[in-house]
Amino acid sequence: MTTAIEISTRGENDEIVVAKLNRPEVRNAIDEQMVTEFHELCAQLESDPRILIITGCTVDTPKGPRGIFASGADIAQLRERRREDALRGINSGIFHRIASLPAPVIAAVDGYALGGGLELALAADFRVSTPFAKFGQPEAGLGIAAAAGATWRLKECVGTPLAKEILLAGRILNGEEALANHLVSELHEPDALVDGALELAGRIAQQDPLAVRLTKQLIAMPDAAHPAVDNIAQAVLFESPAKFERMQAFLDRKK
């Protein structure tokens, strides 16, 4: 059986995992097979934390090859889902698991990131894209809600007014608009997109992994948990060997 996600590793110590969505025949529509494969990948990254890059593939069009991230949930499957399927949280569950991975996640987006495709990208800690990316949430036009994270993650990124335009009026942002509104942090040409994501991943990999891991968890904590959780995390880091090694290296460089 063809896999829905192609997995590869990068970096000197394989510290970066690249997950390439691989359903070009349906523009990387997110089906249950893809969800299952993401759960399998998450299980690996929870036990062996590494930076994850999620990217799309290239599809042939009448105008030539074009990039595609994910066109959304598989409508053929979505049409048949009922109340119990919604309560299972098929997509929201996997997107929450991706967002909760110990190490940072980067979404590298070219072409369409619509519906569940945008919600997948929103689950990442960082988004980089090409100018040709298209970000949108067409669910209301299909008689459903964007219930896999967009109603709250999107407004955290772009603010409530623009989130309402996207969610309620069907507005689609291109890459330039996404950059201007902080939905993505970098723009790259299509042939440099993955390299741009890898360069960002490389900068993250230069930091102390435990400090990055705990800081990601602190960012996700509710306001009421601070500053107590910050003190606890710092107490752990103050005793880590990496703290002494890195600070001593800094002091040695100053000399």
Q: What is the DSSP string of 147-168?
A: TTTHHHHHHHHH-HHHHHHHHH
Q: Are residues 140 and 192 in the same domain?
A: yes
State residue 134's pLDDT score. Answer: 98
Q: Give per-residue pLDDT as tens, 159-191.
A: 999 999 999 999 999 999 999 999 999 999 999
Q: Are residues 154 and 49 in the same domain?
A: yes
Catalytic residues: 119, 139
State residue 208's pLDDT score. Answer: 98
**CA atoms in the 13 A half-sphere facing the CB of 48:** 9
CATH classification of the domain holding 20: 3.90.226.10
Which structural domain range is residue 214 located in?
A: 209-253
Q: Are residues 215 and 163 in the same domain?
A: no
Structural domains in the chain (count):
2
Q: Are residues 228 and 117 in the same domain?
A: no
Identify the segments of the chain with pLDDT beneath 70.
1
Q: Are residues 195 and 83 in the same domain?
A: yes
Q: Are residues 89 and 42 in the same domain?
A: yes
Q: Are residues 191 and 214 in the same domain?
A: no
State residue 2's pLDDT score. Answer: 84
Q: Are residues 202 and 214 in the same domain?
A: no
Q: How far apart are CA 158 and CA 144, in angstroms?
A: 22
pTM above 0.85, yes or no: yes
* Cα angle value 46/16/199 (rounded, 5°): 135
Q: Are residues 199 and 216 in the same domain?
A: no
State residue 1's pLDDT score. Answer: 63
State residue 161's pLDDT score. Answer: 98
Q: Are residues 114 and 173 in the same domain?
A: yes
Q: How far apart are CA 59 and CA 247, in angstroms?
A: 48
Q: Are residues 160 and 220 in the same domain?
A: no
Q: Are residues 123 and 213 in the same domain?
A: no
